[in-house]
Amino acid sequence: MNESHIIRFCFFGALIGIASLYFISVGFSATHVDISEIDSSFIGQAVTVRGTVSGLYIHENGHIFFDLNDPAEGDEYIKVVIWEDSVKQLELKNVNIYEVQEGDEIELTGVVELYEGSLEIIPLRAQVKLI
């Protein structure tokens, strides 16, 4: 196999890979759920939730942690962790997540994870909206 065949093979392989990723991402959708509905069966799934911010903590390294309370359910909440790289993605979308305060209502799309026995949501691709 000569060099030009290898280059063509790599080029077409890359195109097929990019096209596959595109179609996978287009087909990706998150389920809208109430916070009270989230249980261990949602681990690894993408969900969209809406709630009120409480227990807001901004770590010195830029990570943001808070509880998202279900306004309709009162005591129901889920932990949210926004890693520093997602904070930077939000800033590129003109969303200053550092302006979020206790009691603000937000909607976010993220993956449900289990950390030290507690469920939490890790937002995807800076999918956080202030309401």
Nearest to 130 by CA among 111, 113, 108: 108
User: Which domain covers residue 89, as residue numbers?
Assistant: 31-130
User: How confident is residue 55, by pLDDT bands cut at 50, 70 and 90?
Assistant: very high
3-state helix, strand, coil in the chain (%, to 5): 35, 40, 30
* Residue 2 forms part of a structural domain: no
Q: How many domains does the chain have?
A: 1
pLDDT at 68: 93
Q: Answer yes or no: is 22 within a domain.
A: no
What is the domain-level CATH number for residue 66?
Answer: 2.40.50.140
With respect to residue 116, please indicate whether it lies within any of the assigned structural domains. Answer: yes
What's the N-to-C CA distance of the chain in angstroms? 58
Q: In this structure, is residue 79 part of a structural domain?
A: yes
12 is a domain residue: no
Structural domain includes residue 104:
yes
Pairing of strands 105-115, 77-82: unpaired
Highest mean pLDDT: which range of 3-7, 56-60, 86-90:
56-60
| pTM, to two decimals | 0.72
- Does pLDDT of 23 surpass 60? no
| Average pLDDT for the chain | 83
- What is the reported pLDDT for 61? 87
pLDDT at 21: 66
Place of tokens 């289990």: 114
